[in-house]
A and B are shown apart, each in its own frame.
Chain A
Amino acid sequence: MKQLDYDVVVIGGGPAGMAAALKAKEKGATVAVIERNDELGGILNQCIHSGFGLSYFKQELTGPEYAELFINQVAAAGIDIFLKTMVIDLNPEHQVKAMNEDGMLVLAAGAIVLAMGCRERTRGAIKIPGSRPAGVLTAGLAQRYVNIENRKPGERIVILGSGDIGLIMARRLTLEGMQVLGVYELMPYANGLYRNIKNCLDDFDIPLHLSTTVTNIIGHPHLEAIEVARVDENLAVIEATREVIACDTLLLSIGLIPENELSQKSGVSLNPRTNGPLVNETLETDQPGIFACGNVLHVHDLVDNVTLEAEQAGEAAADYALQQKAAATVKATRLADNKVAITISPGENVGYTVPAKLSVPSQKATRILFRVRQPMDQAAVVIQAGTKILYQSKTRAFKPSVMEAVVLKPEEINGLNGIEKTITVSVREVK
C-alpha cells in the first residue's frame, strides 16, 4: 500500500481539476491530480463539437482541443498525475483513499479540490411508465458510444429533454446518418442554450416539441415505440393529444446531477438546490480545506466558466495548504478568522447562487454565479441587504439555460460588516 503526501490533491482531471491544479502549482504548492479515466480531459474528450473556449481563449475550439491545451500545461508543470486511479474515500482529515492496477494508495493532503464533475439523470428519476427494454439510454452515454466507441445506439431516434447534450446529440446522430424524429420538452421553453437550438435543431429541420413529454415506453425486449402527449400549464397530460411514435432508441437529456458521493463521505454539506457543496467566496466547503469547482459544484454550460471557477479554487486551496503548513511551525492562526460570514440567498426567480456564503471585510471582488428559474424578457438583477440595494444590473432578457455572473466589488459589500447577515439575489421584471 502506497502512502504519499501533497499540499494539494485534486480529485478529478477534467477541465476543472486541471485548471485548479495549475493554479495551485503556480502558487508554489506540491500538487497531485487523480483521474479514474485513461486520460485527462473529463467529459470534454467526448464533446467533439466546437464551441469551447470562446471567452477564455477567444477562439472556437472543440472539446478535445480545449482539453489538450490544459493537458499539455499540466504535463509540463511538474504536477503528479495519477491516471486510471479511482478515489474511493475521502475523510475530513484530508486523507484520500484511491486505487489502481498497482494497488491501494493513501494520499495525505494539506487541502483538497473536489472536481469530480457530474452524472446524468436517468429514467428512474422521472418515472416514465412502460416496459424496460434495450434502447433507452442517456444522451451522454450515446455521445460516448458514437464519438468514442464508434457504435450506433440505433437508427430511429427520439430525444426527451432539450438539455444541451440532447441538442448536440440530435445534430451528431443526424450527421452520422441516423434519423432523429424530434426533441420533446416538458416545459414551455427549451433547457439548452439558444445557439444549440439554432445550430443543432433548426439548421437540420429537427422539430422541437415544447410542452410535450413521453408518457409510455413500448416494446420488449427492444424499444419499438414511445407514446408522447402534450401537457397543459400545470404540466398535466392532455389526454386527447396522446400519440404513438415508432422508434428504436430513446435518448434522455433530462438534466445533470453533481457527483458528490465522495464529498459527502468527507462530511461536506450540500446545497439542496444545486446538489453541489455549499461554498463561501473562496469556494471552500463547510469542511475546512476542502474546496470545490466545476460541475461537481454546480452544473455549467460553458467550460470557460468552469476554468475560471477552478482557478479560483486551486489558488485558494494552495493558500490554505501553505498557510496551514506555515502555521504548524509558527503557531499562527488562520487569516480569515476575524471575518463575518454573510449568507447569500436566492430571491425572486433565482434558483441558487454560488457561493452561498461570503465573508466581509473582503479585499477582493466576489463573483456570484446563479441561474434564473423562469425566462424573463425584460428584467434586472437586484442584490439587496434588507431594503438596501447593493447592486442593480441593466435591463435585459434572462433564460434558465444561461448561467449568470455578477461581480461585487469590495466597497459594495464591506459596508455590511456586522449589520446584515443575509444578502438576496433577485431577478425582477422591469416594466
Chain B
Amino acid sequence: MNHYDIIIIGGGITGTAIARECSKYQLTAALLERGTDIGIGATKGNGGVVHPGYDPTPGSLKAKINVRGANLYPQLARDLNFGIINPGIFVIGFSDADEAVLKHKLEFGIKNGVRDLAIIDASQMRNREPHLAADAKNALYAPTATVVDPFEVAIAFAENAKANGVDILTSQPVIAIKKRADGRFQLITPDQQFSCSYIVNAAGNHADEVARLAGITEYQMKPRHGDLLVLDKDMVNKPQTVMFPCPGPDTKGIACIPTVHGNTIVGSTATMVDDKEAVNNYGPGIQALIDGIHKILPELDAGKIIRTFAGLRPVVLDNNNDFFIAESQTVTGFIHAAGIQSPGVASAPAIAEQVRDLLDNAGLKIVPKSDYNPYREKSIDFDALSMAEQDALIHQNPAYGRIVCRCETVTEGEIIAAIHGEIPARTLDAIKRRTRAGMGRCQSGFCQYKVIAILSRELGMPVSDICLEDRGSQMLCGPVKGGAK
C-alpha cells in the first residue's frame, strides 16, 4: 500500500491549489479525484471572476482569504502560464437605496484591504461601457479585479504539483476511510488502497460525506445551484468590464463577465437545491439570466448564446456563508477545506496557504524543497503563434498542419499533446478544457468525430468506449453494419 504524508481528497481548484502548495515542501503527497479528470466539480461551472474582496464581512475568514488569494493571482498567472485578464468590476447602483449599499461595500472593501476602490458616476461608467442601461446611476469600481479560466487554473496547479512530485490520481473516488491503530489513515477506492498521516478534505459538495467516512459529523452541506450561459465571441458591443447589479441580501445578482478567450459569460442564479449530482439547467433560471443582464445591458443580443451550463456552490450550512477551513475537532490530522462557495476561485491560492499552516500546526514538518520549480511551461497554442512560427511548427510536426476544431482553430498536434500531457486528457470534455476544441460556436458539431477518432487511436481504445466526461457517457454505440473496427 502506498503511504503518503498527505492525501488530498478532491481535485477541484481548492484541492489542486493545495497540491501545488504541498509540492513546495519536503513531504510526500497525493491527490485523489473521483472524476475522470480534475476540475470537473464546481470548478468547471462558475464565472471565473477573481473577486477582489469587497463582499465578505470584515474580520471573517473569507475576507482575509479572498483578498490574499486575489492578490496572488497575477504572479501565479505568470509563473504557471495560464490566461488572465484585468477587466475590473462595476457593481452598479440604480437608486438611492443602492447607493447606500455601494458605500457600504466600499467601506467593507477598504477595511478588507482591497486597493483602488472608488464610487464612480454615470458618465465615468459610460466612458468605459457606452451601452449601459440609461437608469444606471453610479457604481462601485474595482479596477484590480481579474478574470481567469478556472479549470485552466486547476489544470495548471495540478500539472505543476505533479512536476514537483505530487501524485495526481483521477478516477479514484474515496469510498472508505479508516483510522488505524498506528494513527495512520487508510483510504479505500474501488480499485486501490492508500495510507497517509494527514487528510485534506477538499471534496467540494461532497466534503460532508467524505468527513462522515472518517466518522466526522461536524457540519452538513447543501449545494447552491447557479445557471450560466456563454455568448459568442463575435457578439457586437461586448462588455469590457465585469458588471454586477447592486446585490440583494443573498446573491451577487446577474452579471456579465468578459472571458479570457473573448466570449462573454452571463451568470449566475442562486438557488439552494437538494441533489448534489444534478448539475442541470433550469428553464426559469436561463430566462432570469437573460432578463437580469438586460437590466444592465438592454441591447445584449440573446441570439448569441452558444451554450448554457450550471454549477453547484458547496455550502456548509449554519456557517454564516463562510468557508470551513479547520482541523477536525474529533479526528486529529483530518483537515477540512470545505464549504468553498463563492469566491472559491479567487480564494484558492490563499486557502492552500491556510491549509499548509493548519498542517504545520497539526504537527507536520513543513520544510521548503531546494529543487522546487514554480514554473509551468505553456502548451502550444497554434492560433496564438505568428505565421512563421506556425509554418516552422508544421514542418517539425505535420500534425500541427491538420485543423481539427475550426471554430477555435485547434490542430491535431495540440490534441495529441493534451492526450499525452502531464495530466492526460482521456475524454472529449477533458480535451475541450485543455485545447478549446468544441468550445466554439458550433459546439463540436464539426470536430467531435475527429476528436473521438484521435482519442481512440492515441489511447488504443475502441471508439465506442470514448466518453464525453464521466464514466457511462459513451458517445457512440456499435457499428451500423458489419465488422467496423
Contact = CB atoms under 8 A, between A and B. Distances in A.
B394 A104 contact: yes
B3 interface: no
A176 B481 contact: yes
Contact of B282 (A122, A129, A140, A149): A129
Interface in A321-340: none
Interface stretch (A130-138, A283-291, A376-384, A401-409): A130-138
Interface residues of A, number: 47
B281 A130 contact: yes
A129 B476 contact: no
Interface in A100-119: 100-104, 119
B216 interface: no
A271 to B, nearest CB: 15
A69 interface: no
B463 A151 contact: yes
A119 B446 contact: yes
A84 B403 CA distance: 9
B308 A124 contact: yes
Contacts of A234: none
Interface in B387-410: 387-388, 390-391, 394-395, 398, 401-403, 406-407, 409
Given A129-B283, A222-B472, A264 B443 contact: no
A160 to B, nearest CB: 15
A419 interface: no
B477 interface: yes
B473 A133 contact: yes
A125 interface: yes
Interface in B451-476: 453, 463-464, 467-476
B278 interface: yes
B476 A153 contact: yes
B305 A125 contact: yes
B147 interface: no
Contacts of B464: 151
Contacts of B286: 127, 129
B142 to A, nearest CB: 30
A132 B277 CA distance: 12
A367 interface: no
B306 interface: yes
Contact of B467 (A1, A100, A120, A221): A221
A123 interface: yes
Interface in A166-212: 176
A97 interface: yes
A86 interface: yes
A222 B391 contact: no
B281 A122 contact: no
A134 B406 contact: no
A400 to B, nearest CB: 19
Given A129-B282, A130-B280, A150 B484 contact: yes
A101 B394 CA distance: 6
Contact of B390 (A104, A153, A222): A104
Contacts of B403: 36, 86, 88, 99
A100 B401 contact: yes
A124 B443 contact: yes
B467 A134 contact: yes
B309 interface: yes
Contacts of A134: 467-469, 473-475
B234 A264 contact: yes
B298 interface: no
Interface in A228-264: 261, 264
Nearest to A97: B387
Contacts of A145: 449, 476
Contacts of B474: 134, 222
Contact of B305 (A127, A141, A264): A127
A201 B203 CA distance: 49
Nearest to B392: A103
B478 interface: yes
Contact of B394 (A103, A137, A155, A176): A103
B484 A99 contact: no
B170 interface: no
Contact of B388 (A1, A97, A141, A216): A1
B406 A86 contact: yes
B236 to A, nearest CB: 11
Interface in B149-189: none
B409 A88 contact: yes
Interface in A67-106: 84, 86, 88, 97, 99-104
Given A122-B443, A124-B307, A152-B478, 7 more contacts: A103-B394, A123-B307, A127-B281, A127-B308, A132-B281, A149-B453, A150-B479
Interface of B: 229-230, 234, 277-283, 285-286, 303, 305-309, 387-388, 390-391, 394-395, 398, 401-403, 406-407, 409, 441-443, 445-446, 448-449, 453, 463-464, 467-482, 484
Interface of A: 1, 36, 84, 86, 88, 97, 99-104, 119-120, 122-125, 127, 129-134, 137-138, 140-141, 144-146, 149-155, 176, 215-216, 220-222, 261, 264
23 contacts: A100-B401, A100-B402, A101-B398, A101-B401, A102-B394, A104-B394, A124-B306, A125-B303, A125-B306, A129-B285, A131-B278, A134-B474, A137-B445, A140-B445, A149-B463, A150-B484, A151-B476, A152-B479, A152-B480, A154-B477, A220-B279, A221-B467, A221-B469
